[in-house]
Amino acid sequence: MKRLTFPFLLLCGLLGLTTTLTSCGAAEEEYHTLNARFAEGQGYMFADQEDHAIIITATDDWTLTSDNPDLTLRTDWTQGTEIQRSVRGGYLLVDSVFIHVSPNFTGKKIYTQFTCTSPGAEATIGQRMYQLPILHIVHPDPINNSFDDITDNGSGVKTYYFEYSVRDDGTAPFDPTPYIAFTPYSTDATVTTDASWVALSQSEGFEKGKLARINLTVEKNTSRSPRQAEIRVTSNGITTPILLKQEGHNPDTEA
C-alpha cells in the first residue's frame, strides 16, 4: 500500500474521524482509520420513529452489528442483522447504514448497542442508541429530561412528561397565543383533547418529519377553581399526553 499523503490526512481531520495508526514496517507507515457516528449526531430516536442511520468512515474492511434482534440494518448493497463492507486498499470510504426499528410501545427507553469492527485498522468502536418512550414534543418543554417510565407512580395516579399552564382568561404567561408543537414521524398523526373548553386549530393532516404548531383557544374560566384538560398527541400508534392546567378565576385581580 502506498504511503497516504497530506491531503488524505487533511481530509481525515476535516471529517473529524476517530483514527488508529499502525505501522507495517520500518520503510513506511500505513494510516488506518475507522469512525462510526449517528446521522446528524443524534444517538436517539422518538417512540414513533422507525428509521435512523449510522455513518461509517473507514480505510479497511469493517463489520457492523447490534445487540437488538428486532432491528434491521440496510445499505445500498445488502440488509440484515449484520453488515459487512470491503474497502479497497488505499481508499477511504464513507457509507450510510440505515437502521429500521419498530415503534416503541413499552413506555420505557429501549437501548441498542452497535459495534463496528475493522481488523485492518485494529479498531473496534461501540455506539449506543436509545429509543425514547415519547413523541417529539417541541413545546411545551418536558418536566424533566430523563424520560423514565413515569406514566404511573405506583398509586394509580397518572403523571405526565409534559404540562402546560394558562391563565384564567385563556392566555399563556409567555406565549401571545397558547400552543403546542411537535414533529411526527408518521403520516397518521392526530391531536385531540378531552375538554369542551379547549379548541385546537388543527387535529390531523400533519406532514411527516415537519414541525407542526397547533394553536389552542382556551375559554375563560369563570370559576374560582382551577381546571385541567388532556391534549393527546398520537403518531404511529403511540400517544403522548400533555396536561393542560388553567388557573381559577380571581375577581380580586380585576381592574
Q: Where are the domains of the chain?
A: 6-131, 136-249
Separation in Å, CA 185 to CA 100, 208, 240, 253? 13, 5, 13, 44
**From 101-110, 154-163, 192-201, 231-240, the region with the lowest mean pLDDT:** 154-163
Contacts of 159 (CB under 8 A, 6+ apart): 150, 151, 152, 153
Q: Which CATH architecture has domain 136-249?
A: Sandwich (2.60)
Contacts of 37 (CB under 8 A, 6+ apart): 54, 55, 127
End-to-end CA distance of the chain: 84
The widest CA-to-CA distance across the chain, in whole angstroms, is: 89
Q: Which pairs with CB-CB distance under 8 Å and at least 24 residues apart come from 12-17? A: 12/92, 15/57, 15/94, 17/57
Same fold, 6-131 and 136-249: yes
**pLDDT single digits (tens) 104-150:** 998 889 999 999 999 988 999 999 999 999 999 999 999 887 777 65
How far is Cα 86 from Cα 39, in angstroms, rounded to an integer?
A: 21
Tell me the residue type at 125. Answer: I
How far is Cα 156 from Cα 149, in angstroms, rounded to an integer?
A: 13
pTM of the entire predicted model: 0.82
What was the pLDDT predicted at 29? 57
Q: What dotted CATH number matches 6-131?
A: 2.60.40.10
